[in-house]
Amino acid sequence: MRVRELMFAAILVLCAMSNGQAQDRVPTSKTEMQLSFAPLVEATAPSVVNVYATKTVQSRSRSPFFDDPFFQRFFGGNGFGAPSKRIERSLGSGVIVAESGVVVTNHHVIAGATEVRVALANRQEFDAKVILTDEKTDLAILKINEKRKFPALTFANSDDLKVGDLVLAIGNPFGVGQTVTSGIVSALARTQVGISDYQFFIQTDAAINPGNSGGALVNMRGELVGVNTAIFSRSGGSNGIGFAIPANMVRLVAEGAISGKGVQRAWLGAQLQAVTSDIAEGLGLERPQGVLVTDVVEKGPAAAAGLKVGDLILNVGRHPVDSPDGFGYRLATIGLGKSVDLTLIRRGKQIRLTLQATVAPETVPRDQRRIEGYSPFSGTNVLNLSPAVAQELGLPTDLTGVVIFKVVPGSRAARFGVRRGDIVREINGEAITSTKVLEILSKQDFRIWRLKIERDGQLIRTAISG
C-alpha cells in the first residue's frame, strides 16, 4: 500500500513538472530536511575580507581663550595652540574579484586612508594599496601586496536578478568577525537612496549592519551579484532594508582599475526629466513611464543619435527606464564604444534610435589652478568647464566658465561658503572666462569683492569686504 502511495505521489509531481507548474510541499525525506547554505558559504566566504583603513587627521588644540573677542582680534578667530595629529581607523569589508589579489570595497571605507590592510577569513593579514577610488559609484579597488593566488568570486550578470531570488550577504558587521546572513532580493533599481551619483541599487532584506560595507551579496550559484553599501535605519542597526551596488557596475569599475584606464563614463549629451502624473496625463499616457528629454547638446551623442527635445525614452535596450538615474545606470554599463537601441515615443508614435556610448569631450583645457592670497576664493582649486569636467562634477554638460573643483577645509573660501561645483561668473563686474582670469583677479587688492556665482542653476550676488 505504501509503495502505491509513493508511486502515485511521484506521478502527481511529474505531471505538475511537465505542465511547468511548481508545487509547494513539505520535506519528504531526511535529506531534504537537512538542506543547508553551508556548502555555498564554504565556497564563497574565503573571498570576502575585512578592510582596515587608517588615516591621520591634523588638528589644533583649542585654547580656553578661543571664544574671547580680545584674543580673536589677534588670532583671526582661528584659535591657537600646538598642531597635533590624530589617528582615525575605520573597518569595512571587501570582496576578492581576481586571483592576483584585486579587492573591491566601498569608497567611503577607505576615503582619505594613509594605510590599508586586508584580513582574509583565515585571519591572515596583508598590506594593500588603493589603485582606484571612485566617489561617484562609492567603489574603491585595492591590490593586496602579496604575490600568490587568492580565492576570487566571479561576477554574475546582475540584470538577471529577480525580486524574490535568494541571496547571502557576507561581511564583518560591527567588527565581530565574518558573518553570513540570508534573505531575498526585495526590490531592484532603487533610485531614491541618496548614496552615490549612480542611483541604482539592489534592495535586500538579508541583514546588513555597520561594517558590512564593501561585503559580498552572492546568489545561489556562488556568484557576486552586488557589493553591500548601505542600510536604511533609524537606529543604526539592520531593519531589513539594505542596498547593494549591482555587479555590472562593480565589474565596470574593477575592469577600469585592472586595465589602468580608470573609470571612463559614457556621455549622453542631453538633459532628462522624470515623468510625473501631470506630465503623463499631458502626454496622453495611462501612467507615468519613461524619461523625458528636456535639452539636447549640439554635436553630442544624443544629437548624433537623433534624439530631440520632447522625446519620451521608454527603454534602453531591453530594459525599461523610469528615472534619469535609471537611464544613467543603463548608459554607464553599456560599455564605451558600444551602441544600444533606444525605444521612445515621439508625437504619439513609437520609434527606435541607436545611441553610441562615447566619453564626454574636454572641449577646452581644464587648466587647473590653485587660488591663494586674500581672495574670497583662496584655498580653492578651479577648472575650466567642459562637458568632461561638468560630468565629473554632476553638472549640466552644456555649461561653460570656471568652476570650483575643490575647497580646502578651513580656508578663506570655505569660511565664505564657497562650495565645490560653484561657477564663478563675475568679480567686480569683470566676466570670469578662464581659470587664468580668475587667478589674476584674485591677486588684486580690492577693498570690496562684488561676486556673481552660479549655484544649482541660480545666480548668487554678494559683496565681501577685502
Binding site for substrate, residues? Answer: 108, 138, 211-213
Angle at 401 between CA 400 and CA 404, to 5 degrees: 115
Binding site per annotation, positions = 108, 138, 211-213
Phi, psi of 126, rounded to the nearest 5 degrees: -140, 150
Q: Is 233 a catalytic residue?
A: no
Phi, psi of 99, rounded to the nearest 5 degrees: -60, -20
Going 71 to 75 to 78 to 82, the CA torsion angle's sign is: negative
Cβ–Cβ contacts within 10 Å for residue 457, how many? 9
Q: Which amino acid is at 154?
A: T
Query: In residues, how long is the chain?
Result: 466
Nearest by Cα to 272 from 316, 311, 330, 329:
311
Place of cell 555597520: 210
Query: Cell numbers at residue 221, please?
Result: 550559484
* C-alpha pair distances (Å), 303 with each of 295, 322, 411: 10, 21, 42
Choice among 47, 107, 108, 378 that is catalytic: 108
Q: Is 445 a catalytic residue?
A: no
Choice among 134, 138, 322, 422 that is catalytic: 138
Q: What is the DSSP letter of 360?
A: P
Cβ–Cβ contacts within 10 Å for residue 434, how many? 18
Nearest by Cα to 390 from 402, 406, 380, 407:
402
Place of cell 589674476: 440
Long-range contacts of 456-462 (CB under 8 A, 24+ apart): 459/425
Choice among 47, 158, 213, 323 that is catalytic: 213
For residues 80-97, b (16+ Cβ closer than 10 Å) or e, as one string? eeeeeeeeeebbbbbbbb
Spatial contact of 271 and 457, defined as CB atoms under 8 Å apart? no
Q: What is the DSSP letter of 155?
A: B
Q: Is 319 a catalytic residue?
A: no
Catalytic residues: 108, 138, 213
